[in-house]
A and B are shown apart, each in its own frame.
Chain A
Amino acid sequence: MNDGEIERILTEILALDPASTPLDDDTALNGALPEFDSMAVVSILTAVEDHYGIVIDDDEVDAEIFETVGTLKRFVDGKVAG
């Protein structure tokens, strides 16, 4: 998925400065960014659900999904593809 939406959601919710924290698929999230806490995770999931019109079950979520920007995009890709 290359619409840039995941990067946009992450940048907005984590209040990142794109200049000092550019996001590419290898950028580490969980454990790497101090802004990345459980409230941020909930906000990101809600934003993704709203934007793509999907429902993410809490059971489907684990820490691995949030390892990097790329792992998150692949997870969302899979959900959107159904």
Chain B
Amino acid sequence: MSACEPAFVDIEGRSLFVVRHAPRGEPRCRVLVLPPFAEEANRCRRLTALSARALAAAGCETLVFDLTGTGDSGGDFAAADWQTWRDDVRGIAARFDWPRAPGRRAVLAVRSGLLLAPALDLAGAALVAWQPVLNGDRYLQQFLRTRVMAAKFAGRSESVKELLERFRGGEALEVAGYTLSPALALALAAARVDESDFADLSATTLLECKPQAGGQPSAPVAALAEALRAHGHSAVAEVLAAEAFWSTQEISAPDVVVTRTVAALTGGEVAP
């Protein structure tokens, strides 16, 4: 039976909550999970835990952690910044021997967690990305839309454009219950990934979820896979028949995401 070990680790004076899902015996690979942003981290928590457990059962040591100021980690979300999060990712990887792990190492990026992947040395690693966010600017605007809608329904008029201006002016803003500092907002807006960030990977699997199977991936995700393949890298973009687990009102953990992820990282073996 694989083990599940929670711990608080000190990274440069910051206390980070990590759960290490350890396989029985020597790990065949080490997977580092890069978490999504704000409320999505709560909605994805169950699917992530189930996937980590399944990966451990299939022989992959899997690290699930909360970034500074989120989840059970120390610090305040309002004081969180992008550089600290990048340092968190590097710190956790180093602490758990991810960069020097013999054999396969992998990243499981959940949503905007992919924007943190360039903080790591990804050479030779495998990547699985769930409903990947490639463009932090578009993502931030979608996030800000929540506040615009809430304001509208309360009879106030706000616009995404105006909120961005306020961030640039140094103002922190509350969105859907999260206090977003201007530093974090603007850094998120500047975050982008493209094929040059993933050129050293051994294999890339980009997974998107739609109500029906067999659909086409979204254009930017399909383009990323295509660009990687054009440079001779192994890359696929696939649509799974599953709910939008990162945003559904009720927590959902589609089994097909678990099985497809384990298959991608273990070459097909999925433990019961």
Contact = CB atoms under 8 A, between A and B. Distances in A.
B142 A42 contact: yes
A63 B152 contact: yes
A14 B153 contact: no
B227 interface: no
Chain A interface, >50% SS class: helix
Interface stretch (B76-84, B143-151, B230-238): B143-151
A15 B250 contact: yes
B160 A58 contact: yes
Interface string A43-55: 1011000000000
Contact of A38 (B147, B155, B247): B147
A58 B211 CA distance: 25
Given A38-B146, A39-B176, A12 B243 contact: yes
Interface in B150-164: 150, 152-153, 155, 159-160
A39 B244 CA distance: 13
28 contacts: A12-B248, A13-B247, A15-B248, A15-B249, A30-B153, A35-B249, A38-B149, A38-B150, A38-B153, A38-B176, A39-B39, A39-B146, A39-B176, A40-B249, A41-B146, A41-B149, A42-B142, A42-B145, A43-B244, A45-B145, A58-B145, A58-B149, A58-B159, A61-B152, A62-B152, A63-B153, A63-B155, A66-B153
Given A41-B153, A43-B244, A63-B153, A58 B148 contact: yes
Contacts of A63: 152-153, 155
A57 B188 CA distance: 23
Contacts of B148: 58
The interface size bin for chain B is 20 to 34
Interface of A: 12-15, 30, 35, 37-43, 45-46, 58-59, 61-63, 66
- Nearest 6 A-B pairs (CB), nearest first? A38-B150, A15-B250, A38-B149, A15-B249, A41-B149, A63-B153
A35 B249 CA distance: 7
Tell me which of A13, A39, A41 has the highest count of chain B C-beta atoms within 10 A of its own C-beta. A39
Contacts of B145: 42, 45, 58
A58 B164 CA distance: 15
Nearest to A15: B250
B41 to A, nearest CB: 14
Given A39-B176, A58-B159, A14 B249 contact: yes
Tell me which of B149, B155, B160, B247 has the highest count of chain A C-beta atoms within 10 A of its own C-beta. B149
Contacts of A30: 153
B209 to A, nearest CB: 12
B144 to A, nearest CB: 10
